[in-house]
Amino acid sequence: MPEIKVTPLGAGQDVGRSCILVSIGGKNIMLDCGMHMGYNDDRRFPDFSYITQNGRLTDFLDCVIISHFHLDHCGALPFMSEMVGYDGPIYMTHPTKAICPILLEDFRKITVDKKGETNFFTSQMIKDCMKKVVPLNLHQTVQVDDELEIKAYYAGHVLGAAMVHIKVGSESVVYTGDYNMTPDRHLGAAWIDKCRPDILISESTYATTIRDSKRCRERGLSEESARKHRKRRQGKRVGPQTVSLSDHLSVQSSFQERMNLKAPIYFSTGLTEKANHYYKLFITWTNQKIRKTFVQRNMFEFKHIKAFDRSYADNPGPMVVFATPGMLHAGQSLQIFKKWAGNEKNMVIMPGYCVQGTIGHKILNGQRKLEMEGRATLDVKLQVEYMSFSAHADAKGIMQLIRMAEPRNMLLVHGEAVKMEFLKGKIEQEFSIDCYMPANGETATVTTNPSVPVDISLNLLKREMALGGPLPDPKKPRTMHGTLIMKENSLKLVSSEQALKELGLNEHQLRFTCRVQLQDPHSDNDTLHRIYTHLKSVLKGYTIQHLPDGTVMVESIVIKVSSSAEDANTKVLLLSWSYQDEDLGSFLSTLLKKGLPSGLC
């Protein structure tokens, strides 16, 4: 039985370091190659030695697919391809290919330049790695080799986020990456067709939550800042952000207009500025409304938002700053946070999920004393708010996607074990399909049961369909007969006659003749007629003919009558049939041996 094996090297019952190995139809595919924000040691990257102990991965992987540009999905890519060694194709969408190297470079700078780590990938390695990238278009079927094909679907998580359908023969797997089932201000909702994969590998970050609409949360963010503004003229605020921050900028921008808010709004330069350019150029990846109106009004040009400079952090008066990264684990957002943490008038709004180990995670859990590098501690007095803007599917969304794709099995990754457990129960109950949730390094094996594709001769098919009628009777299915010819790699189903012809074989006729003696005091002709009437009454649904040449035919079985030489009342019946009618012939000879019933006319 063919099997599909799925092994997470990261994101198995965990969030972060997404990296999932899939073996399907003799092909090995790596889905995502991310880093873990919560670790600074070896655990930050997936354990590639699981694939092979000795070095390069090229021989062991047919392709690598990156779902989107977030570092927990692509952060380990240059390490994997350039330091461990992989030269095969890496697939990602155009926007991901555009934005991913910038985030990697940023990540590298923070790690090497700021933290001083040495054994890390270089800028050149990022470039070399990106040269191996093959861009994917939505819905394009990409033939990785003769057997393996992949197709990307819109995932709506960030710009360029994709789900992938991986197919070998008639077996297939769908990997969702991170996705969102409700359209938001800028992105559309994830969509997939009814592709019925053998396994659907889904993220499950919000496996147990059902969230209100994003519009409500956006209003929340704005009102929060308005309240601050009215009550505390001295208030300051930090809103850490991820790259999808165009979102928040546009919310705030339009809000400021409406509320006549005077406090300046800043966003951190560099990354974010570029990010907006990407949104402009990849407008086809945003939602319907933006695409329709972009000629008149580009959503990504903001009137009220100014670029942030480090020195502004000490400016007097309230201000709003959007800064990255969103989990406060490094970079500008962390710097500003450290500066402002001591004042209870300030506030930080965490816009999304924070991985365990990050400062974001700690303060969300109510920790008020933070241990910083060099044994210093930081008292957190500012207010901490959580408003989830990260575009993940919630439980409802995950169920919705299952309904869309109709998978035969479900496999959960990118979530916490307890939450997964809950969702697994729900899925198994509602859809009656198996749901797996392997931990890192653990393999889930799914046995598939593929149908065998065969070429049927059109003659045979048409004959069969004509006989079956337009609406076949489900109670009385017609049986079709044919011969399957297996030659090299081809499988052809043809009628038996055609098979004989094609293979140049002679047909061998096997015939049987059987004489049956019968006591019947009538003329030969009458006896024959009596046989005809008898068989008519016994054999329903068979073709029975009384032919003028003195024979009775039942299907292709011939019955003749002659009188015995000695006794005119003893009749000799001659039955003759071919092997193809063996069952009927055998039945008839047995039946007629019992004689004809009296009372036949």
Partner 1 sequence: MLDCGLDTTSVLNFLPLPLVHSPRLSKLPGWVSKDGTLNLEKELKECTGRVFVDSQPEFCLPERELLDLSTIDVILISNYHCMMALPYITEHTGFTGTVYATEPTLQIGRLLMEELVNFMERVPKAQSATCWKNKEIQRLLPGPLKDAVDVWTWKRCYSMQEVNSALSKVQLVGYSQKVELFGAVQVSPLSSGYSLGSSNWIIQSHHEKVSYVSGSSLLTTHPQPMDQSSLKNSDVLILTGLTQMPTANPDGMLGEFCSNLAMTIRAGGNVLVPCYSSGVIYDLLECLYQFIESANLGTTPFYFISPVANSSLEFSQIFAEWLCHNKQSKVYLPEPPFPHAELIQTNKLKHYPSIHGDFSSEFRQPCVVFTGHPSLRFGDVVHFMELWGKSSLNTIIFTEPDFSYLDALAPYQPLAMKCVYCPIDTRLNFHQVSKLLKEVQPLHVVCPEQYTQPPLTQSHRSDLMLELQPPPMPYRRCSVLNLPFRRRYERVYILPELANSLVPSEIKPGISLATVSAVLHSKDNKHTLQSVPKPPPMPPSKKRKRVIEEPPVVLAPKPLLSGAVPLEAFLSTLQKHGITEVKVEETADGHILHLQAEDTLIQLEEDGTHIVCDNNEPLRTTLRDLVLRFLQKL
Q: Kindly tell me which of 370 and 539 has the beta carbon lying closer to partner 1.
A: 539
Interacting residue with partner 1 among 457, 551, 562, 563 (CB under 8 A): 457
For strand 544-547 and strand 551-554, is the pairing parallel, antiparallel, or unpaired?
A: antiparallel
**Cis peptide bond prior to 453, omega within 30° of 0:** no
- The first and second tokens of residue 132, run together, are 């191996």
CA neighbor of 492 nearest in space, from 547, 552, 452, 534: 452
What are 92's strand-pairing partners?
135
Q: Which of 3, 117, 149, 203 is catalytic?
A: 203
By CB under 8 A, is residue 545 in contact with partner 1?
no
CA neighbor of 407 nearest in space, from 130, 196, 238, 571: 196
By CB under 8 A, is residue 486 in contact with partner 1?
yes
> CA-CA distances (angstroms) from residue 566 to 13, 228, 401, 563?
94, 125, 86, 8
CA pair distance 229, 256, nearest whole angstrom? 11
**224 has catalytic annotation:** no
Quote the least distance from Cβ 154 to partner 1, whole Å.
11
CA pair distance 302, 292, nearest whole angstrom? 18
**How many residues are there in the chain?**
601
By CB under 8 A, is residue 562 in contact with partner 1?
no
Interacting residue with partner 1 among 487, 565, 598, 601 (CB under 8 A): 487
Quote the least distance from Cβ 93 to partner 1, whole Å.
9
Quote the least distance from Cβ 566 to partner 1, whole Å.
16
By CB under 8 A, is residue 537 in contact with partner 1?
no
By CB under 8 A, is residue 593 in contact with partner 1?
yes
Site for partner 1 in 162-201 (CB under 8 A): 170
CA neighbor of 80 nearest in space, from 142, 126, 117: 126
What are 38's strand-pairing partners?
none
> Site map for partner 1, 124-143, x if CB under 8 A?
-----------x-xxxxxx-
Stretch that binds partner 1, among 108-116, 247-255, 309-317, 489-497 (CB under 8 A): 489-497
Angle between helices 524-538 and 582-593 (to 10 degrees): 120
Check if the beta carbon of residue 76 is closer than 8 Å to that of residue 45. Answer: yes
- The first and second tokens of residue 310, run together, are 């480090």
Q: Kindly tell me which of 307 and 465 has the beta carbon lying closer to partner 1.
A: 465
Interacting residue with partner 1 among 145, 309, 455, 567 (CB under 8 A): 455
Site for partner 1 in 66-105 (CB under 8 A): 94, 97-98, 101
CA pair distance 172, 196, nearest whole angstrom? 8
Site for partner 1 in 423-452 (CB under 8 A): 449-452
Stretch that binds partner 1, among 5-13, 108-116, 397-405, 463-471 (CB under 8 A): 463-471
Stretch that binds partner 1, among 344-352, 371-379, 418-426, 500-508 (CB under 8 A): 500-508
By CB under 8 A, is residue 508 in contact with partner 1?
yes
Known catalytic residues? 203
